[in-house]
Structure 1
Amino acid sequence: MTVKRSVSLPDDVAEWLDQQPNVSAAITAAVRVQMARRHLDEVLRRVGIQATEAGRTRWRERLATPIPADALAEGRRMLGHAE
């Protein structure tokens, strides 16, 4: 089942959506990401971990750092042996 909604959006978001081949799919994907984040925050909270914006920023920065070539090669080697 689907439901039609009407929303007001900032200009930059509306312009981006105008470029998407399927606006409904783009919005659905974005909302599902937000839903998953909230679910993860709740799971972490239940086990005693309070996710903060500062902590999220640290992880984003850490994940944005390129994986060293030797570590990447070793991971690929290990995956090759796992098959």
Structure 2
Amino acid sequence: MRDDERREYERRKWRQIAGHFAMGAVFGAVFALVLLAGNYFGISNVIATSEAPLVVQIVFVAGMGGSFAFCAAITGFLFLVHED
């Protein structure tokens, strides 16, 4: 494989992994927002009793989004490696 073809191949794979990362981030954020909006497991009540509920909600949504994004990127990477 020539260097140009190899570079294009690697760029394509990294774009696919970035797509998995973005997809996981969106799904994680939506999942966290659904948990907060539905007050499942009393999460919203616990957050409401904190000193800065807005900050805790932002950290909760960002943390869930980041966790889902990382796991989706790792899973996508494993699928891509297995594909080759």
Q: So what's the TM-score if we normalise by structure 2?
A: 0.42
> Which one has a bigger Cα radius of gyration?
1
Higher relative contact order (CA 8 A, sep 6+): 2
- TM-score, with length taken from structure 1: 0.42
Structure with the larger helix share: 2
